[in-house]
Amino acid sequence: MTATPSTPAAAAAPVAAANDLAFDVIVIGAGYGGFDAAKHGADHGLRVAIVESRDMGGTCVNRGCVPSKALLAASGRVRELADADHLAGFGIHAAPVRFERQKIADHAAQLVATIRANLTKALERAGVTILRGKGRLEGPQRVVVRESGSGIERVYSAREVIVATGSDPFVPPGISTDGRTVFTSDEAINLEWLPRWITIIGSGYIGLEFADVYTALGCEVTMIEALDRVMPTFDPDITKIAARHLIDARDIDARTGVLAKTITPGCPVRIELVDMATKEPVETLEVDAVLVATGRVPVSKDLNLASVGVETSRGFLPVDETMRVLASHEAGAAVVPHLWAVGDVTGKMMLAHTAAAQGAVAIDNILGHERRIDYRSIPAATFTHPEISSVGLSEADAKTLAAQEGFELGTVRSYFKANSKALAELETEGLMKLLFRKDTGEVLGAHLFGLHAADLIQEIANAVARRQSVRQLAHEVHTHPTLSEVVEVAYKQAALAVGA
């Protein structure tokens, strides 16, 4: 190993010179973004080191996608078995459903352990050097790692450095968390207890997914949304149908236009609600627990970005489409040589597969294969029952583009209630909205709610990636009977609209 040790006491002093370019690439952060960058680099012959201060796998594996989807899988089964009306439609009459909270929590924890171990082994097998500790920059091409446990600091040098330090939950001012009665998704994924009445602050995808879990397991939910409608980040038409099924039809009391000004942990937890516009007090709630799901903030403040002349905006690192770090978010800002950033810390579509895609793009560019990320073709999904998904432009952005570029925007809707597979499943609630150019037929985006919407979105994402036209897509044969025919119907309607 080529590194120069220094003691913690010497941390404030100038860092000793590192051996020349010990690695081709050092990645700081072993989340999904860092993992993909490190593995892709090592697979292509680069000498790669990855630095991780907490658990290998980052948010997605330990505190995000993986455990939350395990909880959703288990609680989804409970919901299905407890839905007597749905089962009766098939002539099935099940016994009252029983579940063990701890076993559901164990399922999630075991899955996390398995995926974390697989991911670590995959890096080791690829020949990546894993450095356990907290990394920071020390000028261009140099990374200091404060080793976990010993606190010893070592300096490593690399031709290129990739920052992949991810994000943490955002807790707004006025809200105190204790990790037990008031908590974020970091603790919620442990499912340590099931509060009789829980308030979820925020109606984004994390709030919706946990509302799905909690209501399936018998908890009463109050959902607080500061903006004037629930699910403000989703397509308005999709929101209408999704909110009807995921919120109104369940034991959820959704309040919009109100702000949780203060939240005080305890038994009960006290929530002071004020009107979002006037800031006048509205009500004080006393509930058993609160999940704060109000977004995420980048992890960048301890990176010593000043040593490489990088200015962040709200902590997010400025990057271009090749994942090179820029000196600032200002237009025309210069590229910072030998520095790259990927994943949530860049603030672009904060999803695991975005982070991974950015990691691969960074490495391809480091390898000399110029490549740019295409955010428009990256899908997003919310794993509620049923699911919500989207890809490409929102309808508002598509309208703006149409006005700028002088084309007519086409919109068609395709319904699950007309789909044989959905009818067979007695799951006919669903809608797909397809956005396309009426002149060329190019698909600009799609928004879905319905059974397996998270899987269905992929074929539209692929079409967006290839900038395909509905003229061509309408000829693609879909398996019958499958939910994918919902997409086929939309393509065919759109093709008619463009005169194909």
Ligand X SMILES: Cc1cc2nc3c(=O)[nH]c(=O)nc-3n(C[C@H](O)[C@H](O)[C@H](O)COP(=O)(O)OP(=O)(O)OC[C@H]3O[C@@H](n4cnc5c(N)ncnc54)[C@H](O)[C@@H]3O)c2cc1C
Which is nearer to ligand X, 104 or 498 (by Cβ)?
104
Burial label, 248 (beta-carbon count in 10 A; 0-12, 13-18, 19+): exposed
Cα 466 to Cα 261, 345, 371, 443, 472, distances in angstroms: 46, 27, 15, 9, 12
350: contact with ligand X by CB under 6 A: yes
Among residues 209, 231, 223, 281, which one has the least CA distance to residue 251? Answer: 223
Among all chains, which residue has been given the structure tokens 């400025």?
Answer: 318
- Smallest separation, CB 148 to ligand X (Å): 9
Indicate if 480 belongs to the active site. yes
Give the N- to C-terminal CA distance of the chain in Å, as an integer: 63
Q: Does 31 bind ligand X (CB under 6 A)?
A: yes
Q: What are phi and psi of 404, to 5 degrees?
A: -65, -40
Least distance in angstroms from the C-beta of 176 to ligand X: 20
Neighbours of 332 (CB within 10 A): 7
Instruction: Quickly count: other Cβ atoms within 10 Å of residue 124's Cβ.
Output: 12
Piece of the chain touching ligand X by CB under 6 A; list 4-12, 27-35, 82-90, 360-368: 27-35
Residue in 34, 51, 190, 22 with CA at minimum distance from that of residue 131? 51
Question: Peptide bond preceding 481: is omega within 30 degrees of 0, i.e. cis?
Answer: yes
Among 41, 76, 166, 379, binds ligand X (CB under 6 A): 166
CB of 44 to ligand X, least distance (A): 19
52 near ligand X, rule: CB under 6 A? yes
- Touching ligand X, residues 380-409 (CB under 6 A): 383
Note whether 30 binds ligand X by CB under 6 A: yes
Question: Applying CB under 6 A, does 135 fall inside the site for ligand X?
Answer: yes
Query: Does 185 help bind ligand X (rule: CB under 6 A)?
Result: yes
- The yes or no reply on residue 123 touching ligand X (CB under 6 A) is no
Does residue 291 touch ligand X according to CB under 6 A? Answer: no
323 contributes a contact to ligand X by CB under 6 A: no
CB of 465 to ligand X, least distance (A): 17
State which of residues 15, 18, 22, 65 lies at the interface with ligand X (CB under 6 A): 65
Write the CA distances from 208 to 203, 293, 406, integer angstroms: 6, 9, 37
Q: Which of 338, 353, 447, 480 is catalytic?
A: 480
Spatial separation of the C-alpha atoms in residues 146 and 161, rounded to whole Å: 17
Using CB under 6 A as the binding rule, whether residue 29 contacts ligand X is answered as yes
Residues at the site binding ligand X, with contacts judged by CB under 6 A: 28-34, 51-54, 58-60, 63-65, 68, 134-136, 164-167, 185, 206, 299, 302, 343-344, 350-353, 355, 383
Q: Which residues are catalytic?
A: 480
